Amino acid sequence: MFVPQAGYDRAITVFSPDGRLFQVEYALETVKRGTISIGMITSDGVLLAAEEQIDKFQDENFSRKLFVLDDNIGAALSGYVPDGRVLIDYSREICQNHRLVYDECATVEYVARRISDIKQAFTQQAGVRPFGVSIIFGGVDLDKIPKIFVTDPSGSYVKYFLAAIGNKSDAALSFLAKYYTNKITLEEAKMLAAAAIKRTSISEKQIKIRFLE
C-alpha cells in the first residue's frame, strides 16, 4: 500500500525525497492487477499465452491480450488494456515503417526498445501519465534465434527466456521454473503455460496461446 507524500504522488516528473516516482509505481501496480500473460522460448520458437476474460455476450476481438505485430513478432500484454491497444498500434506502425525502409522485418529487440522509449518519455513529461501496461514481445529474428523482451511502465526493457506479467505472475513463474528447460518443445510448453495460468484461478476456456517460429 502506498503512502502519499506531499504532492509527489501527483506530479510524475518530480522525484520524492526518497527517490521515488509515485505515478510510475502506481502504473506498475496496475499491471499487477491485470490478467496474467506468459512468454516462453522453446526449442521450436516462442510461445505466448494469456488469460482473456470474455463475457459470453461480448465480441472476443475486444478483449484480446495476444497480438500479431509482423510475420515474425507477437505481443502479449497485462494491465490497463486501452493503454495496451495504443502501444500495440505504435508497435505495428514501427514494424511497417521498418519493413518499408529496409525491406525486412524489424527485430524483436528493436520494437521492444522503441516502445520502451515511448513509455519512458511518458514518465517525465508534464500533462501526461505513465502507460499502465507491461508487454511481452516475442518472436524469431532473421538469425533464427527466438527472443523475448518485456517492457514495463517505467520504460525499461529486459531480455528473458521465460517471463510472466500480471496478477500472480510471481507464483506462475515459480511453478514454471520447476519444469522449464531450454529444450522444451512446443507441445510441452503449451501444457506448461496452461497449467501455470490455471493456478491463478481461471478456466482453460479463457487461455489463448500463440506460437511464433
CATH number at residue 151: 3.60.20.10
Q: Is residue 209 part of a domain?
A: no
Q: Is residue 168 part of a domain?
A: yes
| Residue found under cell 519444469 | 179
Q: Is residue 78 part of a domain?
A: yes
Q: Is residue 197 part of a domain?
A: yes
As beta bridge partners, residue 79 has: 133
The model's pLDDT over 143-161, given as tens digits with 9 standing for 90+, comes to 999 999 999 999 999 999 9
Give the domain extent around 57.
Answer: 22-203
Return the pLDDT at 70.
96
Number of domains in the chain: 1
Rounded to whole angstroms, the Cα distance separating 36 from 150 reads 13
Q: Is residue 101 part of a domain?
A: yes
Residues 6+ apart with CB under 8 A from 139: 46, 69, 70, 72, 73, 74, 108, 146, 147, 212
Q: Is residue 193 part of a domain?
A: yes
Contact by Cβ (8 Å): 144, 118: no
Other beta carbons less than 10 A from residue 80's beta carbon:
18
Rounded to whole angstroms, the Cα distance separating 20 from 22 reads 6
Residues 6+ apart with CB under 8 A from 108: 72, 73, 137, 138, 139, 140, 141, 147, 148, 149
pTM for the full model?
A: 0.91
Q: Is residue 174 part of a domain?
A: yes
Q: Which DSSP helix (H) or strand (E) runs through 162?
A: strand 162-165
Residues 6+ apart with CB under 8 A from 157: 112, 113, 115, 116, 149, 150, 151
Q: Is residue 75 part of a domain?
A: yes
pLDDT band for position 53 (50/70/90)? Answer: confident
Q: Which residue has the higher pLDDT, 22 or 96?
A: 96
Sheet of strand 157-160: strand arrangement: 66-70, 73-79, 133-140, 146-151, 157-160
Return the pLDDT at 55.
65
